[in-house]
Chains A and B, each alone.
Chain A
Amino acid sequence: MTASPSQTGGVEAIVRTCIESVASDKNLPNAVVRRLIRLADSVASGELDPSARTQMERRIELVINGFDVTD
């Protein structure tokens, strides 16, 4: 993560940190955490509307696929 959230308009830094720490406690794969945060960023910045069902499903699929990524 290079850009800070206030520049990109995504979730607050504090929220991002909490997601990362809770996810690591749960041993979630890195790919999943990254994609989950990107999803939250998109919703927070208004880029993705949570009621846009098809797009949301697509993005959630990407997060779920992260479980199969070996990195």
Chain B
Amino acid sequence: MKLQLTGIKAAGLRCAELDLSFGDTYPPQFTFIQMPNGTGKTTLAECLRAALSGEASTWDAERVRSFQRVTGSDGGLFEARFSFDGSPLAVGLKFDFIEETVSYYTTIHRGRVPKLNLPAPLARFADPGFVRLYIFDAELPQELLAGGSDRAEKAIDAFYQLYVLGQVSDAIQSYWESQVQGASTQQGLARHRNRLENLEKRRRQLAGALARNQTELNSVEAELQAKESELDDHLSQVQRYRHEKASLEEEFRDAEGELAKGMANAIGRLQRPLDAHPGFRAALDYLTAGLTSLKLPESTSREFFRDLAEQPTCICGAPMTADAREHIARAAEDLLADDAAGVVNALKNDVRSFQRDETCPALTVLADDLASLVRRRDTARNSLDLLVSEASEKADEAARNLKEHIDRLRLRQQTLAASVRALTREPQPDDDDESTCLKWFEQEIRRLEQVVAEATRLVVLREHKDDLREVLAAATQHAREAARRELVSAMNQRLASLLPGENLTVVDIRPYLILQGREGVNLGAMLSIGYSFLTTLFERGNHEFPFIVDAPTMGLDGLAREALADILPRATRQFVGFVLDNERDFTRRVRANEPDRCEFYTVFSDTSRNRPLADQVPVGTQAAEAGTYVIRGFDFFDKVMWTKNGEK
């Protein structure tokens, strides 16, 4: 991010009226503005800071008044113009001295909004404390060294954007919290896992039992078939047995046949609504009768014609003959039924014309009939069994043994079949962990696996979340220390060139600059330390800010000023200094170092106090309308004398 100051404007405030734009297309690296006392440097500096920090919204009425022109003005305006990453940006403060309020406006590209609306990257640095690190005066260096101030440490955090790691860490925590709403705890997970294990054990047991039972059932049935056949062969050697068996088998076939017929008949009846139940027939008849009395004249209706054909006379009054009837019937056929009338008519037609089983016995009767057919068939089967039984009794031992074997097999078959049925039934609502329904276990296991998977995922997620946050916290810590160490070392190098021979060493920056063993330092030393910190810090950042300084070298001796002039070009891309006339060795040195990168202005109001200055203004130069002189150029800047007597 790159921020440059490209101009300032002030009107109606406690300072000279001015409207300065730096440079022709872009501001130069150094802009020096020479202003005598009383020109409003303080006002300008405060407004500049407020433009970038937003602190004007906290100014009370008294504070606002302090910006009013001594002679009284109704309103005032301050505007700072910037280039932000190459685009124009302007921030303005509108003062209303009648209401004693101040408001912001921001102009980006062509749009202006009536509030402070800095672009996001810049807004992050809109902190009054931070802004004072690049728009400052002689007080700053003292603060950097003062106990009780954490300005220095905060500056590091801001520059290295260490707060970003904190923001990411907080966002990770929020993410975790949103994932975890209403979920199981670690204990819940252990319980679920236990139950899952038990369910699976039980399921395996049941599945095993089913497989075994099924296999055995198959073999039992196969053996049963074989043995029955064997017994039959054995017994069939007796003729009487053969005859009886034949007749019983015929009876069985008959019974089965009758049962099948009865069943088909029952189902067939059910499939015909008019026969399914007398109640259905009654309902359909009633419906039809009721619907018949509806007149449905929305469209011509076949029904109308059919009814008409049954009348003794036609509507025209002529008698209804057979010919007339036929004629009407044909006409009716040609008509299309085309809506509800058609549907209803078709229904009525079906009700009327479908064949009905005239007897239509009650369903209970039908049920009884079926039941007795089932009984007849079962009886026939039992008779067959009985025959086999008795014949075996009377037959030889081999037959008897076979019969016993068969009976045992049958019993076993029934038991196994029942067991298989019980194991393969559908789940019921009251099934639980004790039941024997295999399908219920499979279903419950599937459901529980889902729950466990979700709970596991959350447990793992928590571990990840904690790891990430620890890393971010530790990295912040380490980065802060590494930045401090690096800064301290770079600062000391710079200090050595700013104050050679002083042996000043900065030991730490936590939370303020700590010097080695020194109780107190003089102003010059403080300034040097302050500059070395700031220039070192700003040199490292990803972001370029302009240094805007009021009386940059006040308190520094000649050597220190020279050193500062040598350091600055490397340390900052833009330096705007509001200087007094006694800083000229500094400005000259800077100009000597960077002759093409400097711009000089001399600004003063046209007052009696400033008469000596006005007298030196080149011929033909007028003060601006509001009575402010703005002289651009190094010559005037460097040579104008500020004292009455022309002595410095």
Contact = CB atoms under 8 A, between A and B. Distances in A.
Contacts of B479: 12, 14-15, 18
Given A15-B162, A40-B165, A49-B120, A56 B468 contact: no
Contacts of B175: 56-57, 60-61
Interface residues of A, number: 33
Nearest to B541: A12
A50 B168 contact: yes
B544 to A, nearest CB: 10
Contacts of A15: 160-162, 164-165, 475, 479
A53 to B, nearest CB: 8
A6 to B, nearest CB: 5
B478 A21 contact: yes
B470 interface: yes
Contacts of B461: 64
B486 A14 contact: yes
A45 B171 contact: no
Contacts of A21: 478
Contacts of A19: 165, 471-472, 475
A50 B171 contact: yes
- The residue in A5, A6, A14, A28 that gathers the most chain B C-beta atoms within 10 A of its C-beta is A14
A31 interface: no
Main secondary structure of the interface of B (DSSP, over half): helix
Interface in B630-645: none
Interface string B3-32: 000000000000000000000000000000
Interface string A11-29: 1101101110111001010
Contacts, number: 94
B471 A22 contact: yes
Nearest to B482: A14
Interface residues of B, number: 39
A50 B171 CA distance: 7
Contacts of A40: 164-165, 168
Given A12-B542, A18-B479, A57-B178, A28 B164 contact: no
B163 to A, nearest CB: 9
Interface in B452-475: 460-461, 464-465, 467-468, 470-472, 474-475
Interface in A34-71: 36, 39-40, 43-46, 49-50, 53, 56-57, 60-61, 63-64, 67
A60 B171 contact: yes
B471 A43 contact: no
Contacts of A28: 467, 471
Interface string B481-509: 01100100000000000000000000000
A42 B167 CA distance: 12
- Across chains A and B, which 9 residue pairs bring their CB atoms closest together, nearest first? A18-B478, A46-B121, A18-B479, A50-B167, A18-B475, A19-B475, A22-B474, A15-B479, A60-B175
Given A11-B161, A22-B471, A40-B168, 12 more contacts: A9-B1, A12-B541, A14-B479, A14-B482, A15-B160, A15-B165, A18-B478, A28-B467, A43-B164, A44-B164, A53-B174, A64-B465
Interface of B: 1, 119-121, 124, 159-162, 164-165, 167-168, 170-172, 174-175, 178, 460-461, 464-465, 467-468, 470-472, 474-476, 478-479, 482-483, 486, 540-542
20 contacts: A9-B542, A12-B483, A14-B486, A15-B162, A15-B165, A15-B479, A18-B475, A19-B165, A19-B471, A22-B475, A26-B470, A26-B471, A28-B467, A36-B468, A36-B472, A46-B120, A53-B174, A57-B171, A63-B468, A64-B464
